[in-house]
Structure 1
Amino acid sequence: MKLLAKWLLSAMALLFVAYVYHGVEVKSFTSALLAALVIGLFNMVVRPVLLVLTLPVTVLTLGLFLFVINALMFWAAATVLEGFEVRGFVGALVGSLIYSAIGVVIESALERLFPRQ
C-alpha cells in the first residue's frame, strides 16, 4: 500500500514541478505516472552504479556532485519517455531539486502513515 501511495504522490509531485517550473513539462497524469516509475527505476538501478563510479569527484566536491547525478537521472527519464520533457541540463537540475524536496516530504508523511513494524 505504501509503495502505491508513494508512486501516486510522486506522479502528483511531477505535475507540481511542471506547474511551478517552466523547464519541465508533463503532458498528462498518465505521463507523470510513467515518469515517476522510470525515475524510481533509474534511481534504483543506475544511480548506485554512478555513485560508485563518481565517488572521487563526489568526495572532492564535498557531495555537491550528487546534485548533478540527480539531474542526470531526471534528464535520462525525460529522454526515454514521451509526454515528459525537460529543457536542458539546468531544467533537469532545478526540476530534480524541486522533485527531491517534495519527495522528502512525501517520504516523511508516508512514514508517519505507515510506520515500520
Structure 2
Amino acid sequence: MRIVTWLITNAIALAVATWLVGGISFDGPTSGMAEVKEKLLPLLLVALVLGIVSAFVKPILKVLAFPFILLTLGLFLLVINAAMLGLTAWILPDSVGFHVDGFWAAVLGGIIISIVGWAVDRVWPDSDD
C-alpha cells in the first residue's frame, strides 16, 4: 500500500507542476475528459520513473555535491531536483510524450513537486507509520 500512496503522491505533484509550469508538458489534448484519459497512464509512468531516479541517483548527487550544498546553504538542492526532473524526461522515450523545456522550467517544476509532495503527504498520511 505504501508504494501506491507514494506513486499517487508523485503523480499529483507532477500533475500540478505540469499545470503550473509552461515548460513542463505532456503531448496530447489540453482539456476535458480526453486529456485525463490520454495522459493518466503517462503521468503515472513519469511519476514512477521520477521516483526511481530520485531514489537511486539523487543520494549519489547529494554526496558528490555536498560542498556546493554547504556553500550555497542548501540552494544547490534546487539544481539537483531540477537535474532529477530533466534526467527523467531524458530517460523516457518520446512515445510517453513528457517534455521539460529548459533548466528554469526544471527548477520551478522541482520546487513545485517538492512543495506539493510535502503537502499531499501531510494531508494524506501513510497508514503504515
Give the TM-score taking structure 1 as reference length: 0.89
Which residue in 2 is equivalent to 1:100? 114
Q: For 1:52-71, what aligned pairs fall within 5 Å after superposition?
A: 52-71=63-82
CA contact (8 A) 2:10 2:51 kept: no
Does the residue aligned with 2:53 lie in a helix, a strand or coil? helix
CA offset at residue 65 of structure 1? 0.4
Give the Cα separation in 1 of the matches to 2:71 and 2:80. Answer: 15
CA contact (8 A) 1:6 1:110 kept: no
Query: Given the alignment, which residue of 90, 105, 121 partners 1:79?
Result: 90
Q: Which runs of 4+ in 1 moved over 2 A?
A: none
**Residue type of the alignment partner of 1:109:** V
Which residue in 2 is equivalent to 1:15? 15
CA contact (8 A) 1:14 1:26 kept: no
Does the residue aligned with 2:25 lie in a helix, a strand or coil? strand
CA offset at residue 115 of structure 1? 5.3
Give the Cα separation in 2 of the matches to 1:58 and 1:14. Answer: 24
Give the Cα separation in 2 of the matches to 1:47 and 1:9. Answer: 18
Point out the more displaced range, 9-18 or 83-92: 9-18
1:56-106 Cα offsets, whole Å, 9 max, x none, are: 111111111011001000110011113211000001001111111100012
Q: For 1:31-42, what aligned pairs fall within 5 Å after superposition?
A: 31-42=42-53
Equivalent residues, number: 115
Give the Cα separation in 2 of the matches to 1:5 and 1:53. Answer: 30
**How well do the aligned residues superpose, as a CA RMSD in angstroms?**
1.4
Give the TM-score taking structure 2 as reference length: 0.82
Percent identity (aligned)? 36
Unmatched tracts of structure 2, length 5 or more:
28-38
> Whose helix proportion is higher, 1 or 2?
1
